[in-house]
Structure 1
Amino acid sequence: MAQFDTIRTAAGARAAQIDEGLRAHMNKVYGTMSVGMLITALAAWAIAGLAVTSDPTNAVAQIGADRYLTSLGGALFLSPLKWVVMFAPLGFLLFGWGALMRRGSAAAVQLGFFIFAAVMGVSMSSIFMIFTPYSITQTFLVTAIAFAGLSLFGYTTKRDLSGMGTFLIMGVIGLLVAMVINLFLQSGPMMLAISAIGLLIFAGLTAFYTQDIKNTYVAHATHGDQEWLDKAAIDGALSLYISFLNMFQFLLMFMGQQE
């Protein structure tokens, strides 16, 4: 009986230790994601401010009643460089992130994430030239509320979302193909359909990624590899960051008011 009590006490202590570690792990995930979001917002705002001017002197193109592109804006949005800016974040995710996770230290992975967030900000800077600041802010707040609810669901639900996650990731591939095709078709109705489907896909992925981050920590917490857990937290932050930004951009297609 005494031996059983000892085992039960040890098990309870281990469970409490995992719960405490999980809270710290999730705080790191959301904290890293939040810093990344801030970097993206500041980079997008700064680049948009440098790319657009109300002074027609030395402007390279007019984009509104009293708005003009500077030479930087022309280089970013009118030259072939726009394709580099557009696809650089995707290229990093496909060809750079996995290698960084395998070979880099936790500090290097975190730096890589923040650099990626800055590049993403440059890529997204055009929204400040298309939509009003009020509608961008409004859409961001709506996205934040929806994201919080979906992430909470993923964290607390007892339902296994792994099967749904596999299906949704396949949906992302189809979504990317449709978006590339629409770059050439420039179809408004198709873009609205892509936005609606994309919003649903990344809403589901938010719940899936949150549960996966939680389960990954619980499965590896007893191994004692803190370096790996730190990198896993940053990887989880990246997954949620991407889901949030995609939800925001797709929702902006419905809620955004153009300049």
Structure 2
Amino acid sequence: MAQYQTAGIRAGTRAGEIDQGLRAHMNKVYGVMSIGMLLTGAAAWAIAGLATTNDPSLAVAQMGNGQYLTSIGSALYLSPLKWVIMFAPLAMVFAFGALLNKMSTATAQLFFYGYAAMMGLSLSSIFLVFTGASIAQTFLVTSIAFAGLSLYGYTTKRNLTGMGTFLMMGMIGLFVAMIVNIFLQSPALMFAISAIGVLIFAGLTAYDTQNIKNTYIQHAQMGDTEWLGKAAILGALQLYLDFINMFMFLLQFMGNRE
């Protein structure tokens, strides 16, 4: 009888340790993601400031809203360099996935921060297209929606695995539609892409949060502490991408153009 009681105490203690570790793990995921968001916002705002000017003497090209592009802005947005900036974050994501197992946790975290800064450079053009007030408003709405969806994913007892498979298929279709619309330039298709994009990444926010939680529990039970550090960075990247994409699609609805 005493042996069963001891085993029960040990099991309860182990469960308590995993639960405490899970809270610390999720705090790290959200913390790393938040720093990444700050880096992205700061980089986008700073680059946009360097790329535009109100002084015609410093201008290289004139924009439709009365502002001018500097030489930096011309190089970033009008030269072939714009394609490198556009696709560099995508290439970095694939590189991160391929090299994660070979990286240390510290290296993976630095890579993520570098990626977040590059994403800021890629997104800096939104300050040329949309008003600052509408960008801030959309960011606030996205933050509230993200918090609610992530909380749902963390607390729900429903298994979201099936939904995740469906959403990943939808994301692939969405990406193909976006490439097609680069050539078609259809406003109706762009509206549909934006609406579907918001729904897909809203669902992925809940799914990814639950997946991060379940992955931690599985690896913690096996005592795989080395992987858990990297898993926190990977989880931060997943939620970061969900937030950024949901923000960009919402901006198509809520953003007031310059």
Deviation at 1:85, TM superposition (A): 0.8
Q: Distance in 1 between matches of 2:231 and 2:49?
A: 35
**Counterpart in 2 of 1:250?**
249
CA separation in 2, counterparts of 1:98 and 1:162? Answer: 21
Q: Which residue of the partner structure matches residue 163 of structure 1?
A: 162
Structure 1 segment 103-182 matched on structure 2, within 5 A: 103-182=102-181
Please give the alpha-carbon distance, in whole angstroms, between the structure 2 residues aligned to 1:252 and 1:19. 37
Whichever residue aligns with residue 233 of structure 2, its letter is I
d(CA) in 2 for partners of 1:170, 1:90: 18
Q: CA deviation at 1:46?
A: 0.5
Q: TM-score, normalised by structure 2?
A: 0.98
Give RMSD over aligned pairs.
Answer: 1.0
- Distance in 1 between residues matched to 2:32 and 2:250, nearest whole Å: 23
Identify the residue that residue 216 of structure 1 maps to in structure 2: 215
Aligned to 1:6: 6
For 2:57 and 2:64, the matched residues in 1 are separated by 15
Please state whether the residue corresponding to 2:256 is helix, strand or coil.
Answer: coil
Count of residues in correspondence between the two structures: 258
Output the CA distance in 2 between the equivalents of 1:148 and 1:12.
30
What SS does the aligned partner of 1:57 have?
A: helix
What is the CA–CA distance in structure 2 between the aligned matches of 1:174 and 1:128, rounded to whole Å?
28
Find the aligned partners of 2:58 and 2:18 in 1 and give their Cα distance.
61
Amino acid at match of 1:153: Y
Structure 2: 5+ residue stretches without partners: none
**2:48 equivalent in structure 1:** 48
Letter in 1 for 2:82: K
Task: Give the Cα–Cα distance (whole angstroms) in 2 for the partners of residues 90 and 28 of structure 1.
Answer: 24
Show the counterpart of 2:61.
61
Secondary structure of the residue aligned to 1:64 is: coil
The equivalent residue for 2:22 is: 22
Normalising by structure 1, we get a TM-score of 0.97
1:92-135 deviation line (CA, Å, top 9, x unaligned)? 212x0112211110011001100000000000001111111111
Matched residue, 2:35 = 35
CA distance in 1: counterparts of 2:39 and 2:172, whole angstroms: 27
Q: Percent identity?
A: 67
Q: Matches of 1:102 and 1:27 in 2, distance apart?
A: 22
Measure, in 1, the Cα distance between the counterparts of 2:108 and 2:87: 21
Instruction: Provide the rounded CA distance (Å) in 2 between the counterparts of 1:131 and 1:203.
Output: 23
Q: Give the Cα separation in 2 of the matches to 1:185 and 1:97.
A: 32
Give yes or no for contact 2:178–2:193 (8 Å, CA) kept in 1: yes
- CA distances 1:31-70 after superposition (whole Å, capped 9, x unpaired): 0000000000000000000000011114221113430011
Q: CA deviation at 1:188?
A: 1.4
Q: 2: distance between equivalents of 1:67 and 1:21?
A: 51
Q: CA separation in 2, counterparts of 1:167 and 1:136?
A: 30
* 2:219 and 2:225 in contact (8 A); partners too: no
> Which residue type is aligned with residue 205 of structure 2?
T
Aligned partner letter, 1:80: P
The Cα offsets for residues 66-98 of structure 1, whole Å up to 9 and x where unpaired, read as 30011111111111111111111112212x011
Structure 2 residue matching 1:150: 3-state secondary structure: helix
2:87 matched residue in structure 1: 87
Match of 1:206 in 2: 205
Structure 1: distance between partners of 2:55 and 2:152 = 49
Worse-matched range after superposition: 19-28 or 125-134:
125-134
What is the distance in 2 between the residues matched to 1:18 and 1:153? 20
